[in-house]
Copies of this chain bind each other. A is one copy, B any other.
Amino acid sequence: MIDSQFMRKKTRQVDVRGVKIGGEATISIQSMLSVPLTQTSLAIEQTRSLLAAGCDIIRVAVPDEASLRAFETFRKEISAPIVADIHFDYRLAIGAANAGFDKLRINPGNIGSPERIRAVADAARSAGIPIRIGVNAGSLPKDITKATPETLFEAARREVELLESHGFRDIIVSIKSHDPALTVAANRLFSNEFDIPLHIGVTEAGLPGKASIKSAVGIGTLIMEGIGDTVRVSITGDPVGEISIARDILRACGAMSGGIEIVSCPTCGRTCVDVVAIAGEVAARLPDSKNHIVVAVMGCEVNGPGEACSADVGIAGGKGEFLAFKKGEVVGKIPAENAVAWLIDAVECIIKGDS
């Protein structure tokens, strides 16, 4: 991972119950409960699973007064930052600020008049919590009939000005579409004009496989260009699955450290060892790691020794056996049938030494 490549655009910082967004802060990972707050024990359980997976900030839908009441019980169990997702009803937003939520998310296309937004801003200010403006191609203001980078930017600009005209600057903005190219283009425009921290993601990205790719293209491009302070991956499915995708995207960008990275070749006509089976078994059996550990499983002599040598541990295949490497040094030859056990043992030694 090359740290020097990772230069972020400087944004001002907001605080969500101790998790900083923007400025020099680590890029945080968000998700959203798929169960309602009113099913409180299920909501608590899903929240704990998300936190255990590495989620930093969790959003919940607040569609009614009952959700506000349920939050009282929920809060006693959960101290992590919780965001109230409000649509249509500004009184719920005010209620959420008063109920102790740590951030509000307002969709400017549907919250109502400037006066109502002002009332919400006042409530957020009193509670000392930030507001995320969530511009979404699927719910733009009525006078905007087509989602383009420029109209998405314009929708975000209007709402920012509205909040800022009331002296409220504790803002995060998201601009999302299901189209990664549109999402990237709109966020580039916004990032050029404002120092407001950006929450980035590709919305309604679909089912896991394709959603990972759309999210990695959209979020990845922005992060690689230094844009984005907090991320949400949206998949149709269990939200816990979003967290490992988000981490993999951030790690691929060099924006998050840690984890075991398996470098394994696609195999070709030169390969005389079963790289696919060995890499698969190693991936399935290796534990997670706080530190970044690179494990190379390479099939032949072309890129094999180079990659295996630059990995923390690695094997490069010949005919029925592998050259074994640790930290750049050949440490011996191992028969193919012992390769998995040797790699796992070597990684576990590194993890023990690390901790």
Contact = CB atoms under 8 A, between A and B. Distances in A.
Contacts of A213: 212-213, 216, 245, 248-249, 252
Which of A38, A252, A283 has the most C-beta atoms of chain B within 10 angstroms of its own C-beta?
A: A252
A315 interface: no
A302 B269 contact: no
A269 to B, nearest CB: 3
A221 B87 CA distance: 33
Interface stretch (A122-130, A179-187, A192-200): A179-187
Interface in A271-330: 271, 275-276, 279-280, 283, 296-298, 302-304, 306-307, 310
Interface string A222-239: 001100000000111101
B181 A269 contact: no
A217 B253 contact: yes
A286 to B, nearest CB: 12
A218 interface: yes
A263 interface: yes
Interface in A1-33: 1-2, 4-6, 32-33
A306 B140 contact: yes
A265 B2 CA distance: 34
Contact of A221 (B139, B221, B310): B221
Interface stretch (A59-67, A95-103, A153-161): A59-67
A34 B139 contact: no
A36 interface: yes
A217 B214 contact: no
A265 B236 contact: yes
A63 to B, nearest CB: 5
A252 B139 CA distance: 21
A81 interface: no
A62 B266 CA distance: 16
Nearest to A35: B269
A210 B237 CA distance: 18
Nearest to A67: B269
A220 B180 contact: yes
A64 to B, nearest CB: 10
Contact of A87 (B110, B185, B276, B302): B302
A124 to B, nearest CB: 20
Contacts of A210: 248, 262
A107 B249 CA distance: 29
Interface in A26-54: 32-38, 43
A144 to B, nearest CB: 11
A242 B33 CA distance: 33
A266 B5 contact: no
A253 B181 contact: yes
28 contacts: A2-B185, A4-B148, A33-B268, A33-B269, A34-B266, A34-B267, A61-B269, A136-B303, A138-B302, A138-B306, A138-B307, A139-B306, A178-B263, A179-B254, A181-B254, A206-B279, A207-B283, A209-B212, A209-B248, A216-B216, A217-B217, A217-B224, A218-B220, A221-B225, A236-B266, A236-B267, A236-B280, A242-B266
A-B pairs with the 10 shortest C-beta distances?
A: A36-B269, A217-B220, A138-B303, A216-B216, A138-B306, A61-B269, A138-B307, A181-B254, A217-B252, A236-B264
